Structure 1
Amino acid sequence: MSTDTKMIIADDHPLFRTALQQTLQAELTLPAPPQLLQADSIDAVHGLLGQHPDTDLVLLDLHMPGAHGFSGLANLRGVFPTIPIAIISASDQPHVVRQAADLGASGFIPKTLAPAALGRAVADLLAGATWFTDALNQASEGIDQATAQFAERLANLTPHQFRVYTMITEGMLNKQIAYDLNISEPTVKAHVTAILRKLGVRDRKQVIIAAGALAVEDAANSL
């Protein structure tokens, strides 16, 4: 771990990002104050990691704009394979924790964790260890083979292709994607063709079905 520790807090709720930043500043004992960057979407995480390839750790929420469930983790692990990513989420059921581990997360931190325990967990992660709750061992099963293979293929998408992929999973048509991204429809069509090839599927419907296996119910919306 370098003396200039750099982390990304990725969550779409600004109050939580601020609270987590304050907790880390209070609970982490490091040679120098950590540099804590904030991202409110998967696109923003991609941008920050591109600018800061020396990032020591990403704390990633599962429910972020630009990704559905574990799709963001799967893609980030492929594009930035050397940077540890830990999930921090309110969706902490045993099978979700197991799936995070299966997909290459370095840890899983429940949002209900006490501040001091959170500080210890992040310190372990920064030291190169993994950190999971006991829920990891309570799960009866994790990611099945087909879903694991799809996640591996997601890792091959470029950040721009992943953005288009997410729009496809939301049911958007090429015309809508072109408008939102301010690109031409032929360019979108070329992206879609490349995405289908990389994911090993025939059409958009298969993309949506496969993506559903990586979805995670938002605990905040299930109450």
Structure 2
Amino acid sequence: MLYIVPSPIGNLADITFRAVEILKLADVIFAEDTRTSSKLLQHYGIVKPVSPYHQHNEHKIVQHITDQLKAGKTFALITDAGTPGISDPAFLLVRECIKEDVKVECLPGATAFVPALVNSGLPINRFTFEGFIPLKKGRQTLLKALATEERTMVFYESPVRLVKTLNDFITYFGAERQCCVSRELTKFYEENKRGSLHDVCTHFSQKDVKGEIVIVVDGHR
């Protein structure tokens, strides 16, 4: 069977006992970046074969993995941080396993948007997760559509594009729309900057931004 195993988004202690057990019993662990995942596996004394599974090779190897699962192998899929499938590879493999009647089990665990959403101070009874928005094609169309979205919106972004994205949000959502940018969640330098899009954009324009980024934006009122 295939286990989908969430991994810590920063602090290595944020993994469940069961996740460690599953990683220890798997025949092979498939990882987005084997170098990154090796740090987690070494920390918990997990010695298993590790193979790459990422957006650049998943189409080529998904059938091969599924065939091995049908033959009786037990595999675990992890990503660099968080839950596989949430803005990371997993969908194609899960879909193929379901099609081939291979059992799939996703363990509960870490994912970056949940703590960012909860500690944003914005309404969380209804929200929409948008992940990474397009860099070029479709970007303007999406932002126009989201300008009137009434639910709280959650985005992922890279540190090098954060200020550009916040400026785009100002253009389409308005400078006074409330937001929260969470950076380096669960790590020593965790930062949660709350305020208007204008104020938050100004804040990050004046510093060298590093780390994983989650942007939470209030819905249209």
Larger Rg: 2
Q: Which has the higher strand share?
A: 2
TM over 0.5: no
* TM-score, structure 1 as length reference: 0.34
